[in-house]
Amino acid sequence: MSSFFLTTAIDYVNSRPHLGTAYEKITADVIARYHRLKGDDTWFLMGNDEHSQNVFKRAQEQGKDPLAYCDEMEQVFREVWGRLDVSFNDFIRTTDRKRHFPAVQRMAQVCQDNGDIYEGTYEGFYCVGCEEFKPEKDLVDGLCPIHKTRPEWIKEKNWFFRLSKYQQPLLKFYEEHPSFIEPEVRRNEILRFVEGGLDDLSMSRAGQSWGIPLPFDPKSVVYVWFDALINYAAAVGYGWDDALFKKRWPANLHIVGKDITRFHCVIWPAMLMSAGLPLPGQVFGHGWVFFKGERMSKSLGNMVDPLDAAKRFGPDPLRLYLTKEVPYGGDGDFTWERFEEKYNADLANNLGNLVNRVAAMTERYRGGQLTAQSGGPLATVAAESARAYAHAMDRLALHEGVASAYRLISAANEFIAETQPWSLAKDPANAARLSHVLYDAAEAVRIAAVLLLPVMPSSAVEILRRLGETTAPADLRLDTASTWRASGERAILNAGALWPRLEDKGAPNVSENTTPATPTVPASAAATETTAPAAAVAPAAPAGIHATEAGIAPSDAAAPELISIDDFMKIQLKVAKILEAERVPKSKKLVQLKVDVGEVAPRTILAGIAESYEPEQLVGRTIVVVANLKPAKLMGIESNGMVLAASPEGGGAMLLNAEPAVPGTRVR
């Protein structure tokens, strides 16, 4: 098993994450998940960059202690990344005194001991937005070209890092490691820049308290970039756990934006050379995501909150849009119109419709059961798509990887249109052919879902579940899972629209030419605000504590008393994610859940589902709960809500699955 250590830039915490910063984390997450799918021992690091002057100022503006402010912002960032399903393994902060401080102080000391740090006076411009010293030639009309603000003129005694000494070693390294800087356009930029000669770098700031004191001059703090870059080594033990550091370092891949590639391709490797440490495998400088063609910025007031985008349809459509529509390495654009257009085209009409049609036809014509068949024409397309996908993903051409999966999806849609299973079904003489066609389509969709696992984790898992995949998602491996399966039985689940079309206002999708599908989960779970109540959908019998443990039988559906929509709307059904689950001691049925309902703090809910689920199967599921139920005490524990589950006669409770909707989304 090979190991793979990747990182993203660590974010300034003077404002909330926006769609641009989220783009970086989501695409890095796609890469991390791809490596996990390949079976690599993957370590994905993210974090926050806190010693910036703007962070300090923002805390002061809010009358907060800077560290307390950063503590709060950590929660904000973690929450956003959690809701976007970003699966980092570690999150480091530059105010971390156990890991980051010793690492920064060790590296500064080692560079000093090696004669690469000397005292001097810095005089020149400094842009606080970039946290960068700016040579006059880089200014446009006296302004920073990125922030359009006038940099400060500063003159102070500083410590300098001998960056100039590393010009030749860096050029030699780039030559010997041609894939160190990607994509090529950035490599060329950096080569030209370094060939032009390097100035030494001021690596300390005088007269500031917000930062890490230099070990050899405690009155000065380390310059924020020199400090921040070290996070990558600090997180894996540098300066505090040599054995761990030896195990994990060097990083295989740094994912950063094009505006900060220079810091990562010039200053960081020079620092590592000075400290005698191995260099990372690659720095990938991705492009920017613009909003309606403009750079997102606070001053323009056009920052898109990624949670607004994720609330629209759940995190996966956003993840798909950003990965598929922006060529990785280049720039891209986001508009709400385009996002909705792509949602309809790629998800509602294409993949979603395909899953529904296959499942509905299999249910109708084969009672939901298929026997595996050796490959027809779709097997060839599947093999070719899987090959092209891996080739693209290995080169970080993420958009091409997704396009390969979509080629298979389109081929499966065309295959259904051509073979017309509904016509085959009319003549019993075509029975074998019909079984083959249905299996081929189902198998092609299964393989496409495997390829999409890194991009749309929850949706792909849901598709695999409906297609009868029995391996746990975490155990799926790309090579075996993306290969055509020619033997075995498959149980296919027809579970309603995954992504309702927008103008349908949440109405379930018609799943094949002749039979409309009956969803078991209200289709509106994924569609949120724009969605009208899915009143036509039969309600599932609750199996929460009140229906089971408390002994109240679910009402008989034979002659239901009709209620008005207003009555129904009194019940607040919400999407919730299970964070923790444990059996209630001395109870056969009760499980104590901690769930995220999109509120500030998680809630405790007791559910009578212990006979159907082991606690560990529950953690991570996205379910539906009644959020406005009066609290009730059972076995001495207060329950604040009730989970919804289908309770078939004589069978165990089956929790309603609300993936990929985000916690807090209203279900109606």
- Of 53-61, 255-263, 404-412, 560-568, which part binds ligand MSP (CB under 6 A)? 255-263
From candidates 4, 5, 6, 20, binder to ligand MSP by CB under 6 A: 20
From candidates 91, 173, 240, 288, binder to ligand MSP by CB under 6 A: 288
How far is residue 465's CA from residue 283's CA, in Å, rounded to a whole number? 37
14 or 435: CB nearest ligand MSP: 14
24 part of the interface to ligand MSP, by CB under 6 A: yes
How far is residue 290's CA from residue 332's CA, in Å, rounded to a whole number? 6
Closest distance to ligand MSP from the beta carbon of 604 (Å): 35
Closest distance to ligand MSP from the beta carbon of 349 (Å): 28
294 or 599: CB nearest ligand MSP: 294
91 part of the interface to ligand MSP, by CB under 6 A: no
Tokens of 355: 């899953």
- Of 17-25, 173-181, 309-317, 349-357, which part binds ligand MSP (CB under 6 A)? 17-25
289 part of the interface to ligand MSP, by CB under 6 A: yes
Report DSSP state, residue 140: B
Which residue is at the shortest CB distance from ligand MSP? 257
- Burial pattern 334-373, b for ≥16 Cβ within 10 A else e, equals beeeebbeebbebbbebbbbbbbbbbbbbbbbbebebeeb
22 part of the interface to ligand MSP, by CB under 6 A: no
Query: Minimal CA–CA distance to 643: which of 614, 584, 603?
Result: 603
Closest distance to ligand MSP from the beta carbon of 21 (Å): 4
306 or 317: CB nearest ligand MSP: 306
17 or 500: CB nearest ligand MSP: 17
CB contact set of 522 (below 8 Å; sequence gap of 6+)? 534, 537, 667, 668
Other C-beta atoms lying within 10 Å of the C-beta of residue 531: 22
From candidates 9, 267, 526, 661, binder to ligand MSP by CB under 6 A: 9
227 part of the interface to ligand MSP, by CB under 6 A: no
622 neighbors 521 (Cβ within 8 angstroms): no
From candidates 12, 238, 339, 499, binder to ligand MSP by CB under 6 A: 12
- Of 38-46, 54-62, 252-260, 608-616, which part binds ligand MSP (CB under 6 A)? 252-260
Pairing mode, if any, of strands 41-49 and 11-12?
parallel
How far is residue 118's CA from residue 275's CA, in Å, rounded to a whole number? 15
Pairing mode, if any, of strands 253-257 and 282-286?
parallel
55 or 610: CB nearest ligand MSP: 55
How far is residue 323's CA from residue 341's CA, in Å, rounded to a whole number? 15
Query: Minimal CA–CA distance to 235: which of 72, 73, 48?
Result: 48
DSSP per-residue letters across 434-448: HHHHHHHHHHHHHHH
DSSP per-residue letters across 597-619: -SSSS-EEEEES-TTT--HHHHT
256 part of the interface to ligand MSP, by CB under 6 A: yes
330 or 488: CB nearest ligand MSP: 330
Closest distance to ligand MSP from the beta carbon of 137 (Å): 22
262 neighbors 161 (Cβ within 8 angstroms): no
Query: Which 48-77 positions form the footprint of ligand MSP (CB under 6 A)?
Result: 49
- Of 3-11, 157-165, 518-526, 653-661, which part binds ligand MSP (CB under 6 A)? 3-11
- Residues lying near ligand MSP in the complex (CB under 6 A) are found at 9-12, 20-21, 23-24, 49, 228-229, 231, 256-257, 259-260, 288-289, 296
